[in-house]
Amino acid sequence: MPLVNSKEMFERAYKEGYAIGAFNVNDMEIVQGITEAAKAENSPVILQVSAGARKYAKHAYLVKLVEAALEDTDLPICLHLDHGDSFELCKDCIDGGFTSVMIDGSKLSFEENVALTKKVCDYAHSHVPYVTVEGELGKLAGIEDAVNVSDEDAQFTDPNEVEEFVKRTGVDSLAIAIGTSHGAYKFKPGQKPRLRFDILEEVSKRLPNFPIVLHGASSVMQEYVKIVNENGGRMPDAIGIPEEMLRQAATMAVCKINIDSDLRLAMTASIRKHMNEHPDHFDPRQYLGDARAAIREVVQHKIHEVLGSSGKA
């Protein structure tokens, strides 16, 4: 099966009340860990590449790795650009084999965001085959590759703007800000995690049958924070998005849930543990093999226990 865009994945996910996991990929072990998990769960999956990942691993290597995973698993896999910040970057990815892109104009004014997102949609939609486009309205707190938004600047999505944005741009899905944020420090210790489900509800009323995307959806799994800290790491208290909230969002209009930090954490925990337990090891296949297994375990857990996409391939 060739790479697919996100259209049919989202149509079915919306109808059946689950979400597709969008996991960030940077190297072979991550691609393998994620796709082995998706295979074990017979789940569709989105592999997403940030500008930073593209710089680190190079476009061609990542595309070939994803193609290899496709051949290996025969699953519906969508290759998506995460947080594209310019028309040129989106065009490069579309021309270079990606089946979906995000244009993140959330730091721009509404009018500038509309203009940039429409330009990307016009190009992506006239491409053969059709490339899907994700836009963003509202600002998440935290650090992204191309977008750096401080807590004070974080701004929930205004439901009054979504219809006009979607109509004028032609975007295929929309990322919204309802209280999630990027990275491992989403809520301060002692703070009670809270998502604005009322905004999600209102957005989905304004946009019937339209797929919504949640960024910054790692839960900062405490078992891995513990392993990191028991093995020489120093991660301060970190609180992520509770998995039951993600489960709830997946039953609503949210069709794509972005997870990266939980994978980074699992990978780092397993390598730290491995190094601590085997100070004599110096074959990268030993600790990277463990890291790959840790990624697989986390992704399988997310698919089975949080997203609900098991058996939907």
Q: Which residues are catalytic?
A: 82
Residue from 145, 172, 262, 290 binding ligand G3H (CB under 6 A): 145
Classified as helix, coil or strand, 168 is helix
Q: State the residues that interact with ligand 13P by CB under 6 A.
A: 24, 82-83, 182-183, 215-218, 258-262
From the list Zn ion, ligand 13P, ligand G3H, none, partner contacted by residue 259 (C-beta under 5 to 8 A by kind): ligand 13P
From the list ligand G3H, ligand 13P, Zn ion, none, partner contacted by residue 52 (C-beta under 5 to 8 A by kind): ligand G3H
Judged by beta carbon, residue 199 or residue 263, the one nearer ligand G3H is 263
The whole-angstrom separation of Cα 247 and Cα 302 is 10
The whole-angstrom separation of Cα 148 and Cα 235 is 21
Residue from 5, 6, 24, 219 binding ligand G3H (CB under 6 A): 24
Residue from 36, 85, 136, 144 binding ligand G3H (CB under 6 A): 144
The sign of the dihedral angle between the CA atoms of 68, 65, 125, 106 is positive
For 312, the token pair is 């939907």
Judged by beta carbon, residue 106 or residue 204, the one nearer ligand G3H is 106
Classified as helix, coil or strand, 34 is helix
Burial of 214 (0-12, 13-18, 19+ CB in 10 A): buried
Q: Contact 219/257 with Cβ under 8 angstroms?
A: no
User: Pattern of binders to ligand G3H over 42-71, x per CB under 6 A?
Assistant: --------x-xx------------------
Judged by beta carbon, residue 24 or residue 100, the one nearer ligand G3H is 24
Beta pairing partners, 173 = 134
Judged by beta carbon, residue 16 or residue 56, the one nearer ligand G3H is 56
Q: What is the biggest distance separating any 2 CA atoms in the chain, rounded to whole angstroms?
A: 60
For 122, the token pair is 């016009």
Q: What angle do CA 53, 111, 108 make, to 5 degrees?
A: 35
| Nearest residue to ligand G3H on Cβ basis | 145
- Provide the binding-site residues for ligand G3H, judged by CB under 6 A: 24, 50, 52-53, 82-83, 144-145, 182, 260
